[in-house]
Copies of this chain bind each other. A is one copy, B any other.
Amino acid sequence: MKTDYDVAIVGGGIIGQSIAYHLAKENVSVVVLEGNAVGSGATRAAAGMLGANSELDDDDAFYQFAKESQRYYHTLNQELFDLSQVSIQLFDRGMYKLAYNEEEAETLKRALPMNSTLEWHPREQVLKHEPTLSSDLVGALYIPEDGHVSPVDTCLAFSKSARFLGADIVENVPVHSIEKTDEKDYALQTAKGTYYSKHVVIANGVWSHYFLKNLDLQLGMKPVKGECLSVKSDKIKLEKTIFYDHCYIVPKGNGKLVIGATMVEDDWTTEPTFGGIQSLMNKMAPILPDIKYATLLDTWAGLRPQTIDGKPYIGQHPSGEHLYFATGHYRNGILLAPKTGEMMANLIVGKQVKKEYVEAFSLTRHIQQVMR
């Protein structure tokens, strides 16, 4: 068993796999240590919406990073397939963010100046494109760039590509502790034995909270559980993702509509509840009247890792040690995985990273904010 690596990544979700892939491309020796199965956490639960414009409100570094990550998927699509023969299922028909009254419409229209691709579609235009939507809407913000991928397939494409480029991926091995050693920089202890690495990246979603606390950071994360359901229907013709009141309906390329998601704070359970699914149904049924005839296929849940300000931590431990975090992606883990992987690889191998991004996602940003 090989136990010495340049980089050890704690967490084998889509974030960890993207980092592993980008490091392996740079010929860095890397191991991913995953406590369960690859992609079995928040990755598996996500709908895969690439909602740079739908999820983010400000034209700041976070938004720019998200847009770059969204566009990067168009390159990765072929690149990952060539390496792994896995298709990430990138679909690109855009999104409608609905308004049911003038107030909602005004709020949505405020985004138009942010991005020249955005359009406002009045009621008739929306219904012409999406005739199965309930007709009592006022209009919708059309976001042509907010498509979607399959989170599970994307995670697998990163993972297989990383492995074919030399990365090792170990499952069922929770990392208990990360300690500095003399000869080797870090020792990661697991039931399977100890792994050693010069750099460590902590990327295990809400479970990163332990290491944030344990490594003397006055930061933390909490889980925001999201429950989803999927249906299929031959009555519903839906081309674009539909977004309303933090919830969405994503028409996946296999004919399933993924509907999500609830927001349950501080709940560590990962199974969909009767009450959560019930509330989601009652909330979304009015938007798409024919959904009552749709076949209910599946329900599931996962834990989004939420930081204090809702933005991820992507960066180095403030001590300057070779300890990095890439976690706290909240509702945007799939969207941000490509650029997170690239940025983290660049930080580790010493390539340049945009200063705005380093600052925006730094672990010390809260302190800085207070100091300003």
Contact = CB atoms under 8 A, between A and B. Distances in A.
Interface of A: 35-37, 81, 84-87, 89, 91, 93, 153, 156-157, 159-160, 163-164, 169-174, 176-177, 189-192, 206-210, 214, 231, 234, 237-239, 251, 253-255, 268-275, 277-278, 281-282, 285, 291-296, 299, 303
A86 B253 contact: yes
Of A191, A231, A237, A293, most buried by chain B (CB within 10 Å of CB) is A191
Contact of A277 (B169, B253, B273, B281): B281
A108 to B, nearest CB: 24
A311 to B, nearest CB: 20
B174 A177 contact: no
A295 B271 contact: yes
Given A163-B234, A176-B214, A274 B292 contact: yes
Given A207-B174, A207-B191, A254-B87, A296 B268 contact: no
A8 to B, nearest CB: 16
Contacts of A231: 274
B274 A291 contact: yes
Contact of A177 (B177, B190, B234, B237): B177
Interface-central residue, A164, A171, A275, A296, by most chain B CB under 10 Å: A296
Contacts of A153: 253-255
A255 B160 contact: yes
A103 to B, nearest CB: 28
B269 A278 contact: no
B238 A85 contact: yes
Contacts of A303: 172
Contacts of A282: 278, 282
A153 B255 CA distance: 8
Contacts of A93: 85
Contacts of A237: 85, 164
B268 A294 contact: no
B275 A295 contact: no
A6 B157 CA distance: 47
Nearest to A289: B275
30 contacts: A35-B174, A37-B270, A85-B238, A85-B251, A86-B253, A86-B255, A87-B91, A87-B253, A153-B254, A153-B255, A157-B255, A159-B234, A170-B268, A174-B174, A177-B177, A189-B210, A189-B214, A190-B210, A191-B207, A191-B208, A191-B209, A271-B295, A273-B292, A273-B294, A274-B291, A275-B291, A275-B292, A278-B282, A278-B285, A278-B292
